[in-house]
Amino acid sequence: MSSARTGLRLHAALVLAFVCLLSSPARAKDDAPAAPSHTTAHIAIGAGLGLTVASFFLADAGDKAYERYLTETDPALLEDHYDDARRYDKLAAGTLVVGQLSLVYGLWRRFLHDPPHGAAHQLDHPVRPTWSVAPCLGPDGPALAIDVRF
């Protein structure tokens, strides 16, 4: 993986973190009932963002180890550098997957699982957000379509 792609991913992760921080809801009015706690969701979002950002640093370390592997001439060190590059790449991939899953869980828990307090009760019939996932075949190949309705 090139360092330009790693830098672009890091930039995208930081922008995503900034957007998530800005999307926090306004405080409830004093006459409104107390809002439910979203501590679990906020912890999951924070952990997901942290793991996602950490994956970029691990990928960069893997890139550097691979570059050392390409320039090394000693056979013993050659194998060590290659093993380091593989280990960092596996750690980066695992950290990215777990971070993204944690981020999605936190966002789901915060905004879809438990909508803002009282929002569903202001209508005559309670309405909860719904979502579905369906396979689809497009011009670029198979994909998953995710439908979220509020």
Q: Give CA separation, 136 vs 43, 92, 104, 148, in Å.
A: 33, 29, 21, 16
Range of the domain at 111: 3-25+38-123
What own/partner pairs with CB < 8 Å and gap ≥ 24 does 7-10 have? 9/56, 9/59, 10/53, 10/56
Per residue in 19-54, pLDDT (tens digit) is 555 444 444 444 555 667 888 999 999 999 999 999
Query: In this model, does residue 105 exceed pLDDT 50?
Result: yes
Tell whether 132 is covered by a domain: no
pTM: 0.57
Would you call 137 helix, strand, or coil by DSSP?
A: strand
Tell whether 139 is covered by a domain: no
Tell whether 141 is covered by a domain: no
Tell whether 30 is covered by a domain: no
Query: In this model, does residue 129 exceed pLDDT 90?
Result: no
Tell whether 145 is covered by a domain: no
Task: Look at residue 15 in the predicted model and tell me its pLDDT.
Answer: 56
Tell whether 86 is covered by a domain: yes
Which helix (H) or strand (E) segment holds residue 11: the answer is helix 3-22
Tell whether 150 is covered by a domain: no
Per residue in 57-100, pLDDT (tens digit) is 999 999 999 999 999 999 889 999 999 999 999 999 999 999 99
Tell whether 131 is covered by a domain: no
Looking at the 3D structure of the chain, how many domains does it have?
1
